[in-house]
Chain A
Amino acid sequence: MLEIIDVSRSFGDFRALDQVNLKIESGEFFTLLGPSGCGKTTLLRCIAGFEQIDSGKILLDGRPLTDIAPEKRPIHTVFQSYALFPHMTVAENIAFPLRMAKLDKTEISRRVAEVLEDVRLPDKANHYPDALSGGQKQRIAIARALVNRPRLLLLDEPLSALDAKLREQMQIELINLQQEVGITFIYVTHDQGEALALSHRIAVMNQGNISQIDEPSVIYSYPKNRFVADFIGQCNLIEGRLEGWESGWRFAIPGLDSIPVQNNNEAFSSGQDCALSLRPEKIRLASRLDASPDECLFSGTVHDMLYLGDVTVYIVELGNGLQVEALLANSAPGRTRLFEKGDAVQIAWRHDAGHLVN
């Protein structure tokens, strides 16, 4: 188990990490997700030992790592650039950590052959890294980092150099591999789709802070604040004020009717300014809608649209000038769009579809 307690790290005046707290369980696939420059790599380098921490503690199985040199930590890294040694063959690359651990020759060659089998590249043992494709290099880099069975595997945007198709394939392989070996993975990415697809839990980072740590579905459905809601997937953020009535919580949108909302765990109090986050796919859209009692209904006009193949995104402008994004599947054959710019439409969503954030 890895514990990161109040870890801070500054470069000059710039706080790259600001009192970060994390607890990562053994065997977990944990992802650090955040925009460029938020401190993901810095945190990973602190864990690996390449970066000193200014304050706080990092504990691995209860043991502080602070004074342990990188080579003494049972933690291996898969670098974004792969960092395969160009003057060594694939087999020599993979044997490197075993050689450093002073294993005997027969054991080394047995384990190298085994792990090459695991990443399905047994015939590449005597190739040099230059002769491998991007995906193959990636697999070798992972094999090399895993062969000596570290307690923790750190992966810094390992798939960012691959094209979309290969990336998806590698994602599936990574999930399977992690399940097989049972080693804790800490995965860094700024791709929210990748994070949602791969992880057991995600920590969303913003400017050296952790905004939220949760399972993917919780992060997606119940973002804690505007930043998380906006960063993960497409999201409407509707500004307004929460009001408490005998009949229940209502959300007052300036220039529109107030609507019933959920106030989960009473997280917000009456009169508080906040935002309603609403996923586009939770909004119904038609030229005329019969709203059920547990839905709220608004009329507007189509302001813009974006054809994406499987779906079309409509931007609907409501009476007060508020623009709301809604999503319609193009499931009927040959259908690309239902509405044109300027069409009058109605939108509706269930009262529990939105989620309040601050």
Chain B
Amino acid sequence: MKSEKSLILSKFSASRGNKGVIAAAVLVYLFLYLPLAVVVIFSFNDSRLNAEWVGFTLDWYHKLFNNRDMLQAAGNSVLIACISALMASVLGTLAGMAIHRFRQKWLSALVLGPVAMPDILIGVSLLLMFMLLNVTLGTVSIILAHVSFCIGFVALAVQARMAGMDDSLIEAARDLGASPWQSFRLITLPLLLPGIIAGGLMAFTLSIDDFVITFFTAGVGSSTLPLEIYSMVKIAVTPEVNAVSTLLMLLTLVLILAISRISPQALRN
């Protein structure tokens, strides 16, 4: 009898504890997503002011798609993100394999350094380097900058896959008659692919919404979506900004979901 009673009691207190946890979680998620929700809602608001709900409209999206500067910046952003993600995927894969091969902790710390470093510092130092090397600021310098901070993510995702892979697979391939290149192409690469894709998508999302580093390395000629949004916001936060932000958010969300499906461990770092 007594044990039954205490069991009920413990269940009760557990459910009370659960309620507390749920309440806290709801608050945290509200805190995280309320500002985003506001942006989304006002992007459909039929008013120039982000103050009160007037009515539903798609005007701002219509306007957005007629804004040539904005479209060009968006195109530029996508181009930069694609190229940086691709380059970061290749270099990051090599780096990830090297980290695994040499089993040195400091190598993985170093490749992730730029991620942990304050963006502003990286932006300034890249700007300095480009000046020293006489690189004209523009799309190329932005891409180089983005590649440098994206490599770490791919490397980490690839290294995680390598660590989960049985080393004797490669030896088995060689043993059964595959040249080093064949064993890389037929065994290593297919097994690393989920990690590479996840890392590449991560690089894409990081590149497409980077502001600080891009700001320092863009120069005058070229612009990206975040830079364009910033220049618009300097005047006022218009619903058009809300609309473009909503689209950017949607894209990021889709990519993050894709990554978590392809390679859950890539998001863990």
A69 to B173, CA, bound (A): 12
Shortest beta-carbon distance, B44 to chain A, in Å? 45
**Interface readout for B184-214 with A: 1 if CB under 8 Å, 0 if not?**
0011001100000000000000000000000
Interface residues in chain B, defined as those with a beta carbon under 8 Å from any beta carbon in chain A? 166, 168-169, 171-179, 182, 186-187, 190-191
- Contact (Cβ within 8 A) A48 B187: no
- Contact (Cβ within 8 A) B171 A79: yes
Residue A355 lies at the interface, judged by CB distance under 8 Å to chain B: no
Residues of B within 8 A of A75 (CB): 175
- Contact (Cβ within 8 A) B176 A100: yes
Residue A209 lies at the interface, judged by CB distance under 8 Å to chain B: no
A145 to B174, CA, bound (A): 12
Contact of B166 among A77, A83, A97 (CB under 8 A): A83
Say yes or no: A71-B178 contact (C-beta < 8 A), given A83-B166, A87-B190: yes
A17 to B123, CA, bound (A): 55
A77 to B175, CA, bound (A): 7
Shortest beta-carbon distance, B191 to chain A, in Å? 6
Contact of B176 among A69, A81, A86, A144 (CB under 8 A): A144
What are 30 of the A-B contact pairs (CB < 8 Å)?
A50-B175, A69-B174, A69-B179, A70-B175, A71-B176, A75-B175, A76-B175, A76-B176, A77-B172, A79-B171, A80-B168, A81-B168, A83-B169, A83-B171, A85-B169, A85-B173, A85-B187, A87-B190, A87-B191, A96-B176, A96-B186, A97-B176, A100-B176, A100-B177, A100-B178, A100-B182, A145-B175, A145-B176, A148-B176, A148-B177
A69 to B174, CA, bound (A): 9
Shortest beta-carbon distance, A158 to chain B, in Å? 12
Interface bin, chain A: 20 to 34
Residues of B within 8 A of A96 (CB): 173, 176, 178, 186
Residues of A within 8 A of B177 (CB): 71, 97, 100-101, 148
A85 to B171, CA, bound (A): 11
Residues of A within 8 A of B172 (CB): 77, 79, 83, 85
**Interface readout for A152-182 with B: 1 if CB under 8 Å, 0 if not?**
0000000000000000000000000000000
A81 to B168, CA, bound (A): 8
Residues of A within 8 A of B190 (CB): 87
**Interface readout for A44-72 with B: 1 if CB under 8 Å, 0 if not?**
00001010000000000000000001110
A86 to B194, CA, bound (A): 14
Residues of A within 8 A of B178 (CB): 71, 96, 100
Residues of B within 8 A of A83 (CB): 166, 168-169, 171-172
- Contact (Cβ within 8 A) A71 B175: yes
Residues of B within 8 A of A145 (CB): 175-176
Q: Which residue of A lies closest to B177 (CB)?
A: A100
A83 to B173, CA, bound (A): 9
- Contact (Cβ within 8 A) A86 B175: no
Interface members, chain A 97-143 (any B CB < 8 Å): 97, 100-101
A83 to B191, CA, bound (A): 13
Residues of B within 8 A of A71 (CB): 174-179
Residues of B within 8 A of A100 (CB): 176-178, 182
List of 6 A-B pairs having minimum Cβ-Cβ separation, nearest first: A100-B177, A83-B172, A97-B176, A83-B168, A70-B174, A79-B168
Q: Which residue of A lies closest to B165 (CB)?
A: A86
Residues of B within 8 A of A79 (CB): 168, 171-172
Shortest beta-carbon distance, A89 to chain B, in Å? 13
Residues of A within 8 A of B187 (CB): 85
